[in-house]
A and B are shown apart, each in its own frame.
Chain A
């Protein structure tokens, strides 16, 4: 089954403790992206990647890092999480998102206390 898999689904952590949210897709998509969803703000792009070793900032990149060492994986790293990063995070992949839209993962609900 074609899918984007995120882990974990739920995570509660403390301020400053580094964490990684994993994302993997099995569709051989070139494009991958991370979004965060907050009430009243919709989905905002954090980072995106057009291919292996090619990543760039989205609209709200502060406090996040990503890497794309393999085509299928695109982890999101929070080196020092803060409470304002409490949010619902989605990973997505696509051939070309502007044309085809994205396939989304099921989301990761992160709470930073």
Chain B
């Protein structure tokens, strides 16, 4: 079965600093990978997704993520964080199982931005 690990529960960065959120996945085949963001009191918004091809994918709000098969990782990055980026971030892996399509989510990383 597929699984996702987000090792950092909380991360604090200063506004303007760079950001990297870690995500490791476990899946037997080529995965479909996603990053979602959840602002306080809101639903989840898709930031970016990886299917195949170029391992560096660009998303909305200036985010990017790099797929590294050898490390089973899909880390999210942003060169310069804005205060409005404070939110919870979820990594997810998509798989086609016997029960149909499914997204499995990590436990999330809470990002705090210091002004």
Which residues of A are in contact with B by a Cβ distance under 8 Å? 4, 31, 33, 35, 40-45, 48, 50, 56, 58, 90, 92, 94, 96-107
Other 17 A-B pairs with CB < 8 A, given A33-B103, A98-B32, A107-B41: A31-B100, A42-B90, A42-B105, A42-B107, A43-B105, A45-B104, A50-B100, A50-B101, A56-B99, A90-B43, A90-B44, A92-B44, A94-B101, A99-B101, A101-B36, A101-B94, A101-B103
Q: What's the nearest-Cβ distance from chain B to residue A22, in Å?
A: 15
Pair A40/B34 contact, Cβ less than 8 Å: no
Can you list the 3 inter-chain pairs with the closest CB atoms, starting with the nearest?
Answer: A98-B94, A42-B107, A98-B101
Give the chain A neighbours of B107 by CB distance below 8 A.
40-42
Q: Contact between A48 and B100 (Cβ–Cβ < 8 Å)?
A: yes
Q: Does residue B69 face the partner (Cβ distance < 8 Å to A)?
A: no
Q: Closest A residue to B45 by CB, please name it.
A: A104
A56 to B97, CA, bound (A): 13
B-side interface residues toward A, CB under 8 Å?
9, 32, 34, 36, 41-46, 49, 51, 90, 92, 94-96, 99-108
A101-B46, A101-B94 are contacts. A48–B102 as well, Cβ < 8 Å?
Answer: yes
Cβ B43 vs Cβ A45 within 8 A: no
Most central of A4, A94, A97, A99 by chain B CB within 10 Å: A97
Which residue, of A33, A48, A100, has the highest number of chain B Cβ atoms within 10 A? A100
Partner of B44, one of A31, A40, A48, A104: A104
Contact A97 B94 (CB under 8 A): yes
Q: A90-B44, A106-B42, A106-B43 are in contact. Are A56 and B90 (CB under 8 A)?
A: no
Q: How far is the CB of A30 from chain B (nearest CB, A)?
A: 10
CA distance A33 to B105 in the complex (A): 13
* B42, B44, B108, most chain A CB atoms within 10 A: B44
